[in-house]
A and B are shown apart, each in its own frame.
Chain A
Amino acid sequence: MHNKTITEQAKDLRSGKYSSVELTQAYLQRIKKHKALNCFITVTEEHALEDAKIADTQLSAGNAKLLTGIPIAQKDIFCTQDIKTSCASKMLDNFIAPYNATVIENFNNAGAVMLGKLNMDEFAMGSSNETSFYGAVQNPWDTNTVPGGSSGGSAAAVAARLAPAVTGTDTGGSIRQPASLCGITGLKPTYGRVSRYGMIAFASSLDQGGPMARSAEDAALLLQTMAGFDSKDSTSVEQAVPDYSAGLNNSLEGLKIGLPKEFFSADLNNDIATTIEAAINEYRKLGAEVKEVSLPNMKLAIPAYYVIASAECSANLSRFDGVRFGYRCDNPADLNDLYIRSRGEAFGAEVKRRILMGTYALSAGYYDAYYIKAQKVRRLISEDFNKALSEVDVLMGPVSPSTAFAQGEKTGDPIEMYLADIYTIAINLAGLPAMSIPAGFVDNKPVGLQVIGNYFTEARLLNIAHQYQQVTNWHQQTPQGFE
């Protein structure tokens, strides 16, 4: 049953083919068996089985909701009441949130069963899941390689069938890049579509939660649960949530696809380029028209992103000061010692680098040259997208310039690591929705196709992904040893 999609599982649960407790136990066993992947920070076994029991009662009473009895795992960035929420940091190793994130509430209300909390890069800062306080996550396609990041535990768990579907968050590619590297389907919604309340902030104007699953069809069910207006989040958008499953089977006849020429430059690995081109050919066969477009300021996305994200994170992470919750150093000599040592001892190197960078970019004398400049560049990039998306319906290109790279390969050079997000971060700057869809393999490692839509066109993106998944089976491949 662990090889089925949640669409199939929901049907089976309703027909009584197996119970939620059985399904949950099956996943809990797989989680134990594949512990070496290090996908989970916390497994909530007891909690899950209790929820599954309740779900079974509801199922047999005919009161099932959208996800009743379906096991889901949550990225450990979403606050879960009475359950540890660490953000993969030593800082929050002892943090039991006194409240649920809105996303968690939404899953509870939909009847989902929570298997546990997933590993990630510390405070979502990283592209390889190697900055976690709880250790790196292995990519099930090749356990010597990284799963991508920051939602690395999420992507690896779905690829290894340790959970049928999970949540992730995406600040600069943190859903799409690991989805691409692990061969699963991931969607970063429009900024403001999914509530950020209770989702521990990295960069507030860029962060967005979204679904990661085996198929577009499953991602639609998850997004249906996650999306919606939340009065507790000032940046949440007050707009009705459409039925994301309703249009999955719409025809793609006449779909206008734009290929940003900057996505297919010399930097792109040839084999990946070939894979992406093949995927685009499939779309031609489905009736789409393809033309070249341009995003002239694309090359400035990385510098602008790292200024803005670092600046926002430097302030967002100031609340971790050892006073009200989280890590506190032993025997602080005075107040500054309390701050300096608590933060110094509990934050990892990458988090520190970004706090330092952001503090510098905001400090007197540099604010205009870095922060304001980056915000202006952000507008230019956003306008590039607006222009391109006025000519075509969606943009397509690669998610990542490479397939899964070796553990440790890029940890010595932060800049090298940042370049792993070269095709994804511009989308966060603009706040647009985008997906990663499994599109083939290079050297037995998955390659993802990126599809970028206009604001609030998630339903159309899911339709576009689903149609592709009707004529290809890349998304159904299972890594060896995880069948």
Chain B
Amino acid sequence: MEWETVIGLEIHAQMATKSKIFSAASTAYGAEPNTQACAVDLGFPGVLPVLNQEAVRMAVKFGMAIGAEIAPYSVFARKNYFYPDLPKGYQISQMELPIVGIGYLDIEVDGKTKRIGVTRAHLEEDAGKSLHEDFHGLTGIDLNRAGTPLLEIVSEPDMRSAKEAVAYMRKIHELVRYLDICDGNMQEGSFRCDANVSIRPKGQKKFGTRAELKNINSFKFVEKAINIEVERQMDLIESGGTVIQETRLYDADKNETRSMRSKEEANDYRYFPDPDLLPVEITDELRKQVKADLPELPTAKKLRFIEQYGQDGESATILTSSRQLADFYEAVIKESGCEAKLCTNWVTGNFLGAINKAGLDINDTPISHQRLAGLLKRIADNTISGKIAKQVFDVLWESDATADEIIEQQGLKQITDSGAIEAIIDKIIADNPKQVEQYLSGKDKVFGFFVGQAMKATQGKANPGEVNKMLKDKLK
């Protein structure tokens, strides 16, 4: 039988606020256990939550970026369950009236654009962490993370392959970083994902029973976990079994999913509006403010890059993959005044090549946009050739010098004196009568030999165009 995979994702993005969603404790990562958990985060008796305005603003920003409805009134609710990393015995989340309503996002897979629906996005507090290292057979609880604001972004079950799921996840990841609302650090857990996966016979309308995959915190694992889960479900059904609705944990080491027994018992979360918090009003004023602050979004930027700079889709995708890179690129154009094509080639080529090779973030680039622009200017005005430019680039990477200083110090200026070039070419023609004869008898390939000799004699500093032109004239 032919099967169709159906996937919906729930993405948890930690909002990049300084303080927690309901308390004034720090959200900084990596502190000593329980040193950033205040009385509110610890669920002490009598203490009360007060909502962080920045968390609300960030959620609204996300909503606007996916063209979603923003609720004029939004309500926080208590989700009740007992777990040691949940200090109050309930999580403050949203059930009815989430801040962000229905929106969408376009993804591209195999050159085709597909629209993925976002059902909703709501704010909630993160839980703490359970540490299972051995404390005499006990579990240790660190509540530093408790109360960190999370935006839970719930998609429609619109994805039909692991590849689409990854594309969607990447797109959300790119977007939240563009918006400056999440640092996107997956290793630190700032950006996490659960996947609802089911299969159905191709052509069937009704959804199959889904399994919820937890703990898939890298793009690579999302793809692997979904594929392995789809395989499991197919094998199960084809051998006469049925899929049960359950939560499954992805084990990256074994590349398998397994049932989470602790979550098996039917949960009844008993959501109800949190009486400690009042309805949140998203005012027109806040909307206007956020709208004014909204940066150009990746899709719009990509289209503009293609249009304005004549880029191909691939280059535009690369250059708009992060806001910082796009900004860097445009700063180079502005600073150098060079043709966009030259800038595109250099930024996507040598520059990103070096950044990636060094494993650096664009923010940590050793070559500022000014210094790179300085180099491109000298290529554009023929001071140096492209080949020499690569040499200069390497020095730029290693030093603080400007391109002009390097060119000057190392005497890399192109020879533009045509008299000098002519003399060299005359000498080469005189010294190599055999090759001249071959060329004149129709062996065009030999022409490269003369160019090579000329460049060698000038240590690459002759303008290749000039050399070509002069050689052609002389060898008629």
Chains A, B in direct contact (C-beta < 8 Å): yes
- Mask for A79-106, Cβ within 8 A of B = 1, else 0? 1000001010000100101110100000
A-B contact pairs, 26 of them (CB 8 A): A79-B45, A79-B46, A85-B45, A95-B45, A98-B44, A99-B39, A197-B46, A197-B48, A198-B46, A200-B45, A204-B275, A204-B276, A231-B50, A235-B275, A235-B278, A311-B272, A315-B90, A318-B88, A319-B44, A319-B87, A319-B89, A324-B42, A339-B82, A359-B270, A362-B271, A363-B270
Q: List A contacts of B48 (CB < 8 A).
A: 196-197, 232-235
Q: List A contacts of B39 (CB < 8 A).
A: 98-99
In this complex, the member of B39, B78, B272, B278 whose beta carbon has the largest number of chain A beta carbons within 10 angstroms is: B272
B401 within 8 A of A: no
A51 within 8 A of B: no
Question: Are B272's CB and A335's CB within 8 A?
Answer: no
17 further A-B contacts with Cβ under 8 Å, apart from A317-B89, A321-B82, A367-B270, are A78-B46, A85-B45, A87-B45, A98-B44, A99-B39, A101-B46, A198-B47, A235-B48, A323-B84, A324-B44, A325-B44, A339-B82, A359-B270, A362-B270, A362-B271, A362-B272, A367-B272
Q: How far is the CA of A362 from the CA of B270 in the complex (A)?
A: 5
Minimum CB–CB distance from B21 to chain A (whole Å) comes to: 12
Q: How far is the CA of A321 from the CA of B46 in the complex (A)?
A: 15
Q: List B contacts of A369 (CB < 8 A).
A: none
- Mask for B32-44, Cβ within 8 A of A = 1, else 0? 0000000100111
* Contact of B89 (CB < 8 Å), options: A99, A311, A315, A367: A315
Q: List B contacts of A311 (CB < 8 A).
A: 272
Q: List A contacts of B277 (CB < 8 A).
A: 234
Minimum CB–CB distance from B438 to chain A (whole Å) comes to: 88
Q: How far is the CA of A85 from the CA of B84 in the complex (A)?
A: 23
Which of chain B's residues has its CB closest to A91's CB? B45
Q: How far is the CA of A469 from the CA of B84 in the complex (A)?
A: 54
A interface, how many residues as a size bin? 35 or more
Q: List A contacts of B268 (CB < 8 A).
A: 363-364
Q: List A contacts of B278 (CB < 8 A).
A: 234-235
Minimum CB–CB distance from A459 to chain B (whole Å) comes to: 25
A52 within 8 A of B: no
Q: How far is the CA of A325 from the CA of B43 in the complex (A)?
A: 10
A59 within 8 A of B: no
* Contact of B45 (CB < 8 Å), options: A92, A204, A232: A92
- Mask for A222-239, Cβ within 8 A of B = 1, else 0? 000000000111110000
Q: How far is the CA of A95 from the CA of B89 in the complex (A)?
A: 18
Question: Are A235's CB and B272's CB within 8 A?
Answer: no
Question: Are B276's CB and A235's CB within 8 A?
Answer: yes
Question: Are A324's CB and B43's CB within 8 A?
Answer: yes
Q: List A contacts of B46 (CB < 8 A).
A: 78-79, 97, 101, 196-201
Which of chain B's residues has its CB closest to A358's CB? B270
Q: How far is the CA of A323 from the CA of B37 in the complex (A)?
A: 14
- Mask for B271-290, Cβ within 8 A of A = 1, else 0? 11001111000000000000
Q: How far is the CA of A83 from the CA of B285 in the complex (A)?
A: 46
| Majority secondary structure of chain A interface residues (helix, strand, loop or mixed) | loop
- Mask for B66-95, Cβ within 8 A of A = 1, else 0? 000000000000101010100111100000
Given the interface contacts A311-B272, A367-B272, does A321 sit within 8 Å of B89 by beta carbon?
yes
Q: Which positions in B face A, CB cutoff 8 Å? A: 39, 42-51, 78, 80, 82, 84, 87-90, 141, 268, 270-272, 275-278
In this complex, the member of B49, B82, B88, B270 whose beta carbon has the largest number of chain A beta carbons within 10 angstroms is: B270
Q: How far is the CA of A232 from the CA of B46 in the complex (A)?
A: 11
In this complex, the member of B45, B84, B90, B277 whose beta carbon has the largest number of chain A beta carbons within 10 angstroms is: B45
A205 within 8 A of B: yes
Q: List B contacts of A363 (CB < 8 A).
A: 268, 270
Q: Which positions in A face B, CB cutoff 8 Å? A: 78-79, 85, 87, 92, 95, 97-99, 101, 196-201, 203-205, 231-235, 311-312, 314-315, 317-321, 323-325, 335, 339, 359, 362-364, 367, 371
In this complex, the member of A92, A201, A203, A371 whose beta carbon has the largest number of chain B beta carbons within 10 angstroms is: A201
Question: Are A319's CB and B45's CB within 8 A?
Answer: yes
Minimum CB–CB distance from A312 to chain B (whole Å) comes to: 5
Question: Are B141's CB and A323's CB within 8 A?
Answer: yes
Q: List A contacts of B141 (CB < 8 A).
A: 323
Q: List A contacts of B270 (CB < 8 A).
A: 314-315, 359, 362-364, 367
Question: Are A234's CB and B90's CB within 8 A?
Answer: no
Minimum CB–CB distance from A309 to chain B (whole Å) comes to: 10
Minimum CB–CB distance from B203 to chain A (whole Å) comes to: 34
In this complex, the member of A92, A231, A324 whose beta carbon has the largest number of chain B beta carbons within 10 angstroms is: A324
Q: List A contacts of B42 (CB < 8 A).
A: 324
Which of chain A's residues has its CB closest to B80's CB? A315
Q: List B contacts of A198 (CB < 8 A).
A: 46-47
Question: Are A318's CB and B44's CB within 8 A?
Answer: no
Which of chain A's residues has its CB closest to B45's CB? A200
Which of chain B's residues has its CB closest to A207's CB? B275
Q: How far is the CA of A227 from the CA of B45 in the complex (A)?
A: 21
Minimum CB–CB distance from A103 to chain B (whole Å) comes to: 10
Q: How far is the CA of A321 from the CA of B50 in the complex (A)?
A: 23
Q: How far is the CA of A313 from the CA of B356 in the complex (A)?
A: 55
Question: Are B82's CB and A318's CB within 8 A?
Answer: yes
Q: How far is the CA of A338 from the CA of B272 in the complex (A)?
A: 26
Q: How far is the CA of A311 from the CA of B90 in the complex (A)?
A: 13
Minimum CB–CB distance from B143 to chain A (whole Å) comes to: 8
Minimum CB–CB distance from B435 to chain A (whole Å) comes to: 86
Q: List B contacts of A101 (CB < 8 A).
A: 46
Which of chain B's residues has its CB closest to A364's CB? B268
Q: List B contacts of A320 (CB < 8 A).
A: 45
Minimum CB–CB distance from B53 to chain A (whole Å) comes to: 12
Minimum CB–CB distance from B123 to chain A (whole Å) comes to: 15
- 4 A-B pairs with the lowest CB-CB distances in the bound complex, closest first: A318-B89, A204-B275, A362-B270, A205-B275
* Contact of A197 (CB < 8 Å), options: B47, B84, B87, B90: B47
Q: How far is the CA of A367 from the CA of B42 in the complex (A)?
A: 28
Given the interface contacts A234-B48, A318-B89, does A362 sit within 8 Å of B80 by beta carbon?
yes
Question: Are B51's CB and A234's CB within 8 A?
Answer: yes
Q: List B contacts of A197 (CB < 8 A).
A: 46-48
Q: How far is the CA of A270 from the CA of B186 in the complex (A)?
A: 72
Which of chain A's residues has its CB closest to B139's CB? A335
Question: Are B78's CB and A315's CB within 8 A?
Answer: yes
Minimum CB–CB distance from A355 to chain B (whole Å) comes to: 11
Q: List B contacts of A78 (CB < 8 A).
A: 46
In this complex, the member of A197, A203, A318 whose beta carbon has the largest number of chain B beta carbons within 10 angstroms is: A318
* Contact of A232 (CB < 8 Å), options: B50, B78, B89, B90: B50
Minimum CB–CB distance from A448 to chain B (whole Å) comes to: 28
Q: List B contacts of A321 (CB < 8 A).
A: 82, 84, 89
Which of chain B's residues has its CB closest to A203's CB? B275
Minimum CB–CB distance from B453 to chain A (whole Å) comes to: 81
Q: List A contacts of B89 (CB < 8 A).
A: 315, 317-319, 321
Q: How far is the CA of A95 from the CA of B44 in the complex (A)?
A: 10
* Contact of B272 (CB < 8 Å), options: A92, A315, A319: A315
Q: How far is the CA of A201 from the CA of B78 in the complex (A)?
A: 15
Which of chain B's residues has its CB closest to A197's CB? B48
Minimum CB–CB distance from B281 to chain A (whole Å) comes to: 13
Q: How far is the CA of A363 from the CA of B276 in the complex (A)?
A: 20
Question: Are A234's CB and B50's CB within 8 A?
Answer: yes
Minimum CB–CB distance from A337 to chain B (whole Å) comes to: 12
Q: List B contacts of A99 (CB < 8 A).
A: 39, 44, 47
Minimum CB–CB distance from B180 to chain A (whole Å) comes to: 27
Q: List A contacts of B276 (CB < 8 A).
A: 201, 204, 234-235
Minimum CB–CB distance from B409 to chain A (whole Å) comes to: 62
Q: List A contacts of B45 (CB < 8 A).
A: 79, 85, 87, 92, 95, 97, 200-201, 319-320, 325
